[in-house]
Amino acid sequence: MSFAQLIGDWHALAVLFVAGVVPNQIWRMLGLWFGGGIDEGSELLVWVRAVATAILAGVIAQIVVEPPGALASVPDALRYGAVGAGLVVFLLTRRSIFAGVVAGEVFMLAGKWWLG
Amino acid sequence: MALPPLDSPQWQSPWRAFAWGLRSITQTILTVVLFVTYLGIGALAHDSHFSLLWALCSTLFVWAGPAQIILITTLGSGATIIQSAIAVTVSAIRLFPMVVSVLPLMRTPATKRRELFFAAHLTAVTLWVECHRFLPQVPRERRIAFVNGLGFGLVSVCLTANTVGYFLAANLTQTLGAAILLLTPLSFLFSTARNSREVADVVALALGILLYPLAAKMNSGLDILVSGLVAGTIAYGVHWWREVRA
């Protein structure tokens, strides 16, 4: 990997600023300036939080359903199975994030090894 | 490691308070979760053809895992800048109530707004959770320094994880590379599920996952926004319906 590849181009960094940095900092700075007058339990915030959670859920689904890079080499059933196995262990271990992640990974690696 | 008592002379220097904040990252399992999550983000950035500098800048200046994976995934799969910016903006709205609720924990009558700038920038779900846990054990006038130390420590851990993940994705065999990439959906799914205390959150998470493949079939380019808005609004409806009945 060359040095230039590690740096990338300025265009991608500009996109990061416009689509990533600004949309996040707006909310933090609004919180800094106008904090205090907002009711945390207000109905609008409940809806906003639900939509934000569902957007993140969609991205999680996108990575599993239309996987990038090396993850695409894992068969569909194995990817879905790994998430399912992780979820079962997560629920059985009283919501241990660590146990869920390990179980999902082990399922995927074992499946890959078994399929050859 | 236990923090010194509130009246200890250890708290007299703001730098000592910063150092205590920095050391506190060793006192939480969330540091491990963050490391694993950012390992995955580094690998995801590599396999979605972003540079290492780009990945590190996103961690440093965006500092919100969900926003970072939304950005990488949408831009990497060919969404326009506007579409990505909208999805990230919506995902980031939750930072607003977090900042609003966490800053009063550190404010004194003499605190100037600019002194809270870094604390506001560092606020994301992990710091928010840890502030509620640690700050009652820190004297009020040293809390900003403590939080800056804690945040600096967490950001450093994540920058390291990004770099390791990026190079692992570049050099590992395909199977192990896939395993690193799988860390992202797994860790986000379970940490979001763990933070979902209300029914609306659980419904939003489950429906958001189930509706995405349907929305993707419409091929509008706005898949994530469509499934997110529909699933989130239904989840809010469930919440509203339960409130009305209660």
Q: Please classify residue A113 by burial: count the beta carbons closer than 10 Å to its beta carbon, then call 0-12 exposed, 13-18 middle and 19+ buried.
A: exposed
Quick one: which of A82, A47, A50 has its CA closest to B206?
A50
Q: How confident is the model at residue B169 (pLDDT cuts 50, 70, 90)?
A: very high
Structure-token pair, residue A59: 């991205």
Name the token pair of B156.
């450093």
Cβ contacts of B101 on chain A, cutoff 8 Å: 40
Instruction: Report yes or no: B91 at the A interface, CB cutoff 8 Å.
Output: yes
Tell me the residue range of the domain where B44 lies: 14-195
The tokens 């082990």 sit on which residue?
Answer: A106
Q: How far is CA A48 from CA A19, B92, B169, B199, in A?
A: 19, 10, 35, 14
B187 and B216 inside one domain: no
Q: Which of B54, B198, B232 sits opposite A54 (nearest CB)?
A: B232
* pLDDT (mean) for A60-70: 88
Considering only the beta carbons, identify the residue of B67, B85, B97 that sits closest to A18: B85
Output the six-digit token pair for A102: 């390990």
Residue B203 confidence (pLDDT): 95
Note whether B218 and B189 are same-domain residues.
Answer: no
- Asked, for residue B235, whether it belongs to a domain, the answer is yes
A12-51 confidence digits (pLDDT tens): 999 999 999 999 999 999 989 876 555 556 787 788 778 8
Asked if residue B3 belongs to a domain, the reply is no
Same domain, B71 and B29: yes
Chain B residues in contact with A17 by the CB 8 A cut-off are 61
Distance CA A56, CA B141 (A): 36
- pLDDT of res. B51: 96
Q: Calculate helix-pair angle for A76-92, A43-65, nearest 10 degrees.
A: 140
Residue found under tokens 């923090």: B3
Cβ B122 vs Cβ B60: under 8 Å: no
How many domains are there within chain B? 2
ipTM computed for the complex: 0.86
Q: Which residues of B touch A104 (CB under 8 A)?
A: 182, 186
Q: Which amino acid is at A11?
A: H
Sequence spans of domains, chain A = 1-38, 40-68, 74-116
B116 and B63 in a common domain: yes
In a domain, B8, yes or no: no
Is A6 close to B51, i.e. CB distance below 8 A? Answer: yes
Residue A10 pLDDT greater than 70, yes or no: yes
Q: For residues B56 and B163, is the Cβ–Cβ distance under 8 A?
A: yes
B186 contacts A33? CB cut-off 8 A: no
Q: Do B227 and A52 touch (CB under 8 A)?
A: no
Q: For residue B55, give the nearest of B185, B161, B126 by alpha carbon.
A: B161
* CB of B128 less than 8 A from some CB of A: no
Query: DSSP readout, B8-38?
Result: -GGGSSHHHHHHHHHHGGGG-HHHHHHHHHH
* Residue B74 Cα distances to A57, B13, B86, B210, B232, angstroms: 13, 45, 11, 18, 19
Residue of B128, B182, B233 to mutate when probing chain A, most A C-beta within 10 A: B182
